[in-house]
Amino acid sequence: MVQLAQTYPDKVTLVNGGPTYEGRPVNYLRVSTTNFQDLSKPVVFIMSLLHSREWIGQAATLYALDKLLINNTESDLINDIDWIIMPTANPDGYIFSHDSDRFWRKNRRFGSSCMGVDLNRNYDINWGTESSDSPCSETYHGTEPFSEPETVVHKKIFEEHQDRVLVFLDIHSFGSYVLYGYGNGELPPNGEALSSAAISIGDAIDAAKLPNNPNYTVGNLAQTLYPASGGSQDYALSVGVPYAYCLELPAFRGSTSITGFLVDPEFVEQAGYETWEGIKAGARFALNSNRMRKGIP
Ligand SMILES: [Zn+2]
């Protein structure tokens, strides 16, 4: 990320969004041909590794950076859109998943009985209704909404670019899903458009995916996978982001157990490639519908 900011100073700014619980920077890149100064441009915000063990998601964000900056063949994407890309949304958990426990999911908030808060249950949207109040649970929601420094960093990004974030993608694994809110099964007022864009994302990935992997399933989080509260895509919807999704990338070699989080070296580049196809489809769908709504040809 530092190298990209140094190599493309006219397009890339490295931002330290603030410290994690353990004091690491939550870094992200702003990618823009107009240095984020053209407020008429929509913003696409992509993050990964909110759940630290879901390593394959990072391949997708890094691949997106490659296609936007190093090997860009579709200039509309960088000319028409400002991008915020955060490859590691939960740095403390990610380091811990490397050093100590490969299957660590939460952040590293100290607890006398158990460590960590599930950051994807900690956002201030229906908080605490479909999550756990037990610190030892994998879905522990924390002591209050936005109790965790990492989710506060994400919240500030939405606040800073209010009304400009058109698409939000939180990339997880695993299970091959495009999911949208709300996590209690209710749909937002733009549910139909939200669903249509999700289908375009899923179709684009399916057209590029490996034959052995299943097609993506597209749907509302609660109706398709399970109910969940306090999630990032729900929070994004609640603050006015029209197109907010959780992507679940494919499992490791079709596994249905915890080993699904492992990374197949042969799949790393492919994961980036096929997810990028989905990201592009979603961004263009949103861009076009936004233009139509504003009456721009
Ligand atoms: Zn996850």
| DSSP per residue, 243-292 | EEEEEEEPPGGG--SGGGGS--GGGHHHHHHHHHHHHHHHHHHHHHHHHH
**Rounded distance from Cα 242 to ligand 1 centre (Å):** 21
Cα 196 to middle of ligand 1, angstroms:
23
252 CA → ligand 1 middle, Å: 14
Q: Which of 248, 266, 274, 277 is catalytic?
A: 248
Known active-site residue 248: yes
- Residue 222 identity: A
| Separation of CA 2 and ligand 1 centre (Å) | 26
Q: Give dist(CA 115, CA 256) in Å, integer.
A: 26
Which long-range CB contacts under 8 A does 105-108 form with residues at least 24 apart? 105/51, 105/52, 105/53, 105/138, 106/51, 106/52, 106/138, 106/140, 107/20, 107/21, 107/52, 107/148, 107/150, 108/20, 108/21, 108/22
Say what the pLDDT of residue 158 is: 98
Give the pLDDT confidence score for residue 162 in this predicted structure.
Answer: 87
Whether domain 2-294 has CATH 1.10.150.80: the reply is no
Distance 71 CA to ligand 1 centre (A): 28
Cis geometry, peptide bond prior to residue 285 (ω within 30 degrees of 0): no
Helix (H) or strand (E) run with residue 83 in it:
strand 82-86
- Neighbouring C-beta atoms of residue 32, cutoff 10 Å: 21
51 CA distance to ligand 1 centroid (A)?
5
CA nearest to 50, candidates 122, 101, 113, 115: 122
pLDDT tens digit sequence for 257-267: 999 999 999 99
Task: Say what the pLDDT of residue 292 is.
Answer: 84
- Surrounding ion ligand 1 within 5 Å at CB are 51, 54, 172
C-alpha 118 – ligand 1 centre gap (Å)? 9
CA of 50 to the centre of ligand 1 (A): 7
CA of 97 to the centre of ligand 1 (A): 14
Domain boundaries, the chain: 2-294
Helix, coil or strand: residue 172 = strand
Instruction: List, for the chain, all residue ranges whose pLDDT scores fall below the cut of 50.
Output: none
> Cα(first)–Cα(last) distance of the chain, in Å?
36
